[in-house]
């Protein structure tokens, strides 16, 4: 089976009913300010998440 080709496009080139920001990275400042919750940098969490997915054949663990 041939792998699909992925081509990068700008947000403006993909028409959707809702307007999307050009840069939509998650800003967690309000979460920390209101609830005192801080998330670790995504790079710190990536390894354990991938390991968990591989260990469970892609099924996400329930918390």
pLDDT string in tens for the chain (63-residue length): 888 898 988 877 888 888 777 776 778 899 999 999 998 888 999 999 889 888 888 776 676
pTM of the predicted model as reported, rounded to 2 decimal places: 0.43
- Contacts of 33-36 with CB under 8 Å at 24 or more apart are none
pLDDT of residue 44: 94
Q: Residue 9: is it exposed, middle or buried by C-beta count within 10 angstroms (0-12/13-18/19+)? A: exposed
């Amino acid at each position: 089976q041939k792998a699909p080709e992925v081509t990068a496009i700008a947000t403006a080139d993909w028409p959707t009913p809702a307007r999307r920001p050009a840069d939509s990275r998650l800003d967690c400042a309000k979460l920390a300010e209101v609830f005192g919750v801080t998330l670790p940098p995504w790079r710190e969490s990536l390894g354990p998440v991938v390991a968990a997915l591989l260990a469970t054949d892609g099924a996400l663990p329930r918390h």
